[in-house]
Each structure stands twice: as structure tokens, then as C-alpha cells.
Amino acid sequence: MTVKEHGSIIDSMHTMRAYALNDNRMDYKIILSLVFGKNKLATKKRARIEGNYLSDLSKDSISLPHAFGDAPTVALYTLKNVDASSLGIDHVGSDNLVKDIQNNVISPNYLITFKEDMPSLTKYSRVLGPKGLMPTPKQGTIVDEDNIKRMVDNLKKGSFKIKLNKLLTAHIPIGTLSMDDTKIHENASVVLSFVEKHLPSSYIKSNLNNIYMNTTQGPSCTLSIQ
């Protein structure tokens, strides 16, 4: 899936920057939006299959090659003695760490733990679950000592999952207006390649109705795809 030249990402960047100059705000986020539609002629079985496609799209995490904004914060729950600073971890602790999270003293983006510490953490599932912080193998937040540094580095890059709202639209931040055009283009290309990899080409062709870019306070620019 590629963006046609006449509806290019670079052209859209120039348009959005022109509008933002009036506000002198180059820190506005750039949002890439994917608009999917339902096949009104699909049978119930086909509709379920297509619904599963989008569910699968939201399961895997994606990391952009060029980070922007504040780096995500990572907390480690462990009963071990760990040098957090050398691993790039922002908060480390055990019961006291969970208490700080529960009382909103700290609000980490991610909570990780070692496999052997997981049994002692499960008792806090009602505290951490609603906050989306309960470590799981699927999220890659249950780690080993030999891969913790790599996992923390990946999380710090801002890995995320594509989430769709009730209108089957995903709004994905891919940078800010102050970033270089090439970096924005590469971030957008990674997102589009991720979608292409996780969805059948036939579904993309028939159900991906629109792709557009916009800033926090700017116009939307539609991208033509092929």
C-alpha cells in the first residue's frame, strides 16, 4: 500500500505547516487517520470474519522509527535488587510501587516484571488491570533478565497498538510539525506497511475507505492510496 504522488504525505505536511504558522505552533501533533467501513452486503459469517480482521490488527504492537514527544515512562515490579538507571527504568519497587500507582503518585505508561515475580504481582490485578498496567506475555511486559534492557528500549521508543473507535476509525500520532518531512514520511510508511501486513489485500481494497492526515488544530489532508 503506497501513497500516490498527487496526494502525498509531503504535500500534506506543507499544507498543515502553512496553517500552523498563523498560530506559531510547530509542536502540534500530526495524526494519521485510517477510516474503515462495513460491507453492507456481507453475510453474518462474512461480517464476523471481517470483524476478526480488525481485532487482529489491534493485537500486535508497532514502533515508529522516529520518536517524538516525551518518552514513555517504564516501571519495574520486582523483589530483586536491580540497577534501574542502567536499564533506563523510571520507577522500581514491589508493594510500595503498586501502592504509588494505586494512589496516583506515579503514572507509568508501562509496568514490567520478571517471570519469577509475576506470582506475587497477580494479587494486584484489580488495581493494575483497570489502568491497563497488568503485565502480560502478549504485551511483552513479562521479561527475563537477559532481555529486559531490549524490552525497555523498545517500550521507550513508544510502541503502541492501533485502536479503532466505534466508527471503525483509527487516529494514530506519527510526529509533530517540527519534525523533518522524511521522518514523518517514514513513520507514516511504517504504519501503512503494518496495516498491509496484518490485513488481507482484498479487505483493504474494499473496506479501507479513507486515509487522511491532520494536526491538533489544523485542516485534514486526504491521502490517495494505491
Residue 216, in any domain of the structure:
yes
The pLDDT of residue 169 is above 90? yes
- Between 22-31, 56-65, 192-201, the lowest mean confidence (pLDDT) is in 22-31
User: What confidence tens digit (pLDDT) does each residue in 31-51 have?
Assistant: 999 999 887 767 788 778 877
94 in the same domain as 141: yes
Angle at CA of residue 50, ends 31 and 211, nearest 5°:
25
Confirm whether 185 is domain-assigned: no
CATH number at residue 140: 3.40.50.790
Specify whether 56 is located in the same domain as 82: no
Rounded to whole angstroms, the Cα distance separating 72 from 158 reads 6
151 and 205 share one domain: no
Domains of the chain: total: 2
Buried b (16+ CB within 10 A) or exposed e, 54-80: beebeeebbebebbbeeebbbbbbbee
Q: Shortest CA distance to 57 belongs to which of 197, 173, 152, 187? A: 197
Task: Name every residue whose Cβ is closer than 8 Å to that of residue 182 and which is 6 or more positions away in sequence.
Answer: none
> Does 178 reside within a domain?
no
Confidence (pLDDT) at 196? 92
131-160 pLDDT per residue, tens: 889 998 877 899 998 889 988 988 887 778
Residues 94, 126, single domain; the answer is yes
If asked whether residues 58 and 104 sit together in one domain, one would say no
Q: Is 137 inside any structural domain?
A: yes
Range of the domain at 216: 1-29+38-62+190-226
Q: How confident is the model at residue 79 (pLDDT cuts 50, 70, 90)?
A: very high
Domain check: are 53 and 86 in the same one?
A: no
| Mean pLDDT computed over 63-91 | 89
Query: pLDDT, tens digit, for every residue of 186-210?
Result: 999 999 999 999 999 888 888 899 9
